[in-house]
Structures are given as C-alpha cells and as structure tokens.
Chain A
Amino acid sequence: MKEIVVISGKGGTGKTSITAAFAMLAGKNAVIADCDVDAADMHLLLQPDFAKSEDFYSGFKAEIDQELCMKCGKCKQACRFDAVKKIDDSYNILNLDCEGCGYCAEICPVKAIQMVEQNVGKWYISKIKNNAQMVHARLGIGADNSGKLVAKVKKEAKNIAQEASKDFILVDGSPGIGCPVVSSLSGADYVIIVTEPTLPGFHDMKRVYELVQNFHLTAGCIINKYDINKEISEKIKSFCKKNSIDIISYFPYDETFTQAMTQGKTIVEFDDGNLKKILENSWKKIISLTDQH
C-alpha cells in the first residue's frame, strides 16, 4: 500500500480538482483522505455520504470557577498569552487567546481553574460516488489543533486501507508549510506538488519542497496553467530536474476546471478531451513512479 500526498505550498493551484479526478481514476483501489481540514472542498466533487461521523476532541481551554476564585491574580501573572483579563473585580479567560497550556490551573492556590478538553471538529468515514471510501473532517470554527485532526484522518484512512488491502491512500493536503502540512506529510510514500508558473507559485513550491526534503520524501510535480508563463514553467522544470523531482504532467490554462466544479463533477466525468487524457496519463505515471520508489 502506497500513501500519496498532494500539496502545493500556494493555495488555489488546482490541488483539489486534480486530486479528486485521481480519486475517480483510482476507483476502489484507493482510500481517499481529505486533509485540508480547515477549508475542505473535495467532498463537493466526490459527494461522500457522511455515513459515519465522530466528534474530535483535542487541546484544552482554562475555565475559572468564580465561586472558588479568591482573586489573587496569580493566573494573570503567569499567563504568557494575555488570556486572563480582569473585568471589574473578577478574573476571566479569553477563550480565543487561551493556548490551553494549563500553567494557570497548575499554580492556582485554591484550584479554581479547570482545564476543559475541547471539541474541535468532526471526522467522517464515507462512501463516495464511485463507491470508494473517503475519510474527511471538518474543523470547528476558529479551532486550533488542525495538525492533530489531520493526523487522525490519515490514521483512519490507513486503517481502512490496510484492512481492505487497498493499493493506495490518496491524500489532499492543505496550503502552506505549517502544522497541518507537516502532519499530512508524515508517513507519506510519495508527494505530488501541484504548482503554477507564477512568481508566487514557484516561490511557495520551493519552500514546501524544502519541507519535503526535511522528511526525506520523493516527490513529483504537476504544473497547472503551464501556458500562462512559459518562462517560469521552464524554470520550474529545471528546478525539478536539479532536485530529482519527477515531472508528472502539464495542464494548460483551461476554464473547464471551473465548469466541471460548478456541476459538482471531477474533470474526468465532465471532459472527454484533452484534460481527461492528461489526467489519465498522469495517474498511470504516478502508479508507475510509486512502484519504483
């Protein structure tokens, strides 16, 4: 079983549209994991049935029992996040600022502070429209701990894939280089970077590739909208060659991507022409590349 993780560095390069199309091409050989948990969109194309759902608890917030509090202010002094605010005569926790470190609870002389575990979201196991299984999640509004929810989604996807002896886990990652991305990369067998030939796209790809290298992972690259700047596309190509990143495919600038999305379809269900062919060839290439590595 191979775990394939799709990331991009920069947002909006076509990562999810392309990954969803691969999910349709992989069919029942793959378990799909949407690890872009704080702005998950893949379900809009794959139409999961949300068959099984579970709450996800992670991290803490402090709560002060005003009855017990003797207003010594030690909690406010200890807090490095300015999360304790004195309002009139009472001390209060600002939920958005509380990091859940528990320092205040630890030092409160009358044990008036409780650390309460937080419900930060939900995760789901679903069947998608081609009957493959998908694990996905939704992070609560403004919640942190997205990295931990990503780890949970990946772990569940892995369990399903192992039990049913699937060939692939296909993971849609999030933009950036922070904790959710680090979580989605850990344990990957192969990384696909979807980029675009723009100065920001290339810059962000280089940064995220540095992260991929930190994990000693092998990677391939898909250049989307390659024709909007052929000069930068060439630069991306040389960067890939220099770093032994496999070049998987190039997609032209094509608004068919949006048209398919507007109908809730992946490209391979919508387009019978050039884009579908590129996607099919890309997926074949990815299968053979992951076999080699």
Chain B
Amino acid sequence: MKISIASGKGGTGKTTLATNLAYLLSQKSPVILADLDVEEPNSGFFIKGKEIHEKKVFRMIPEWDKEKCVLCGNCQRVCKFNAVIKLWEEVLVFNQLCHSCYACSELCPQNALPMKTYEVGKITEFEQNNLHFIEGKLNVGEEQAVPLIKETIDFTNHNYSSDILRIFDAPPGTSCPVIEATKSADYIILITEPTPFGLHDLKLAVEVMRELKKDFGVIINRYGIGNDDVVQYCEDERIPLLGKIPNMKKAAEAYSKGELLSEAIPEIRSAILDIIKNLQDREVLL
C-alpha cells in the first residue's frame, strides 16, 4: 500500500501528519516514509533515525564535443526546451532547461553531443527500528524537482519489498511535482486548514485527484481556527473527512523544536490514532 500526503497550500501539516502516522504505525509493523518534498524536505527534523546510506542522484545532460561537431544545427532544431543553442561557431547546453530526453544526442549525425552525468541532488536512507526513512533533497539552483522525486520513489521500490506500507510526504501545490508524488499512490490524504486559503487550495487539490482518478480523503489540521466551510465542502462533495487535528499554540511550539507531536502532545496523539482507526475502517490500512 502506498499512501501519499498532499495539500495544495503549503504549511498545512503534510510533514506533521506523514511523520506522526509513519512513527505510530511503525510501532506495530515496518513502514517506509519517503520525503518527496525534495525542494524543501523537512520530515528529517522529526524522525531521528540512524543514517545507513547516502547516494548522489544524477541526470543525463548532453555535452558538446567541439572536435566532432560540424555545426549543422540539428540539435537546436530538435530541442523543444531551448536547452541546446547553436551560437555562431559554438553549441551551448543549458543544463537547467534540459529535460534529458536524449533527442539532440541520439539524433546528432556526428555523435558530437554525448550524454554525461550531472548531479541534481541526493537520496539519504535512515533507519529507526521499524521505520525506514528515505529523504530526497534537491541541490539548490536545480530547478526541476520531478526527476529526483521519481528517483526517490524508484529507490524505495528497488530496495524494499512491495508488501511494506509506504507513506509519501508530497510537495505543496498542484503542478508537476505533486503529480509525480501522487500518481503511483493507492490512496491520497489531502490535509488542509479550515481557512479560506486552505479551502481554496483544497478544492484545487481535489480537482487534481479526481483528474488522476485517485481514491482520497481529507484531514483538517489546526481545527478550531477559521470556520466550518471545509467541513461543509467535504459533506457537499461527499469526500470522506478522515479526522481533525486540533489547533494549539503548544503544537506550533513543539513543532518549532523538531518534536514529534504525537509524543509531545497527548491530544494530537489521540487525533492521529483516530485517523489511523478511520483509515483501518476504510481498509486503506490493515
């Protein structure tokens, strides 16, 4: 089972939910937690595991071979991303724009654009008893998150049995990084806050999940602030409300220090346990 936790709006509690769910569930059986918010991964502040493995992640990028090139300009013509430009007597490759499609390289009549590795980030694997935590982290300056998200998911597929429960901490938003972090999941939890911003972005996230034909439910974090419009919306749209996590300044303080809220605050622990029970009743969790 793969569960992806997404949100639309940033800062609504994706990481809080992902880490606490993974931690509590791992007390009974093995769990893999993968932080796919590779631009700004934060799960690692709350899961204190032992680092067991780190690997660099590379992408393939063409590199111009001046000696072989006859300046025919075919590379520039086939590149849809303006990543390869022929300028006078030179061919320039813009790494950030390249999508690693290989077209310029493989269609070059002179083999003058061989593909070379280019580092985009790293994947680190931690272990805390039954909890296997995998973090993808994008190098600063690298613009494309999708290849690293894909690599991080592949890493969990190659290294762990598919029987083990996977929890994905997805990035915010509704565009390509979110699609990559949710499209392979069996169930999506959308976490939001009961405010106009939270509701607006929840509606966008719901549209994405419907487009992807995903089974999903909603959790309201910081319940007690704002208003009841999110609850009403879920009722109207017949979206299951999986739980509510109460709003407490204490929780913000504990979060700020990197404390796991289910350990630090009994009310939050019981809210997360209710969510687990709810997921079990729905047969999302065994």
Contacts and interface: CB of A to CB of B under 8 A. Distances in A.
Interface of A: 9-13, 16, 38-39, 41, 44, 59-60, 78, 80-81, 96, 99-103, 106-107, 115, 139, 141-144, 146-147, 174-180, 182, 196-201, 203-204, 207-208, 210-211, 214, 225, 228-229, 232, 253, 255, 258, 261-262, 264
Contacts of B253: 228-229
Given A175-B10, A178-B138, A229-B256, A141 B40 contact: no
B72 interface: no
A10 B37 CA distance: 10
Contacts of A232: 256
Nearest to A230: B256
B116 to A, nearest CB: 15
Contacts of B101: 80-81, 99, 101, 103
Interface string B47-87: 00000000000000000000000000000001011000000
Contacts of B266: none
B12 interface: yes
A174 B45 CA distance: 22
Contacts of A261: 195-197, 226
Contact of A142 (B78, B174, B201): B174
B14 to A, nearest CB: 9
B11 A13 contact: yes
Given A39-B8, A39-B10, A60-B80, A178 B204 contact: no
Interface of B: 8-12, 15, 39-40, 42, 45, 78, 80-81, 96, 99-103, 106-107, 138, 140-141, 143-145, 171-179, 183, 195-197, 200-201, 204, 207-208, 211-212, 225-227, 249, 252-253, 255-258
A54 B138 CA distance: 34
A198 B15 CA distance: 13
B10 A200 contact: no
Tell which of A39, A139, A197, A261 has the most Cβ of chain B within 10 Å: A39
A253 B249 contact: yes
Contacts of A141: 174, 204, 207-208, 211
A204 B171 CA distance: 13
A198 B200 contact: no
A281 B156 CA distance: 50
B39 A176 contact: yes
B258 A199 contact: yes
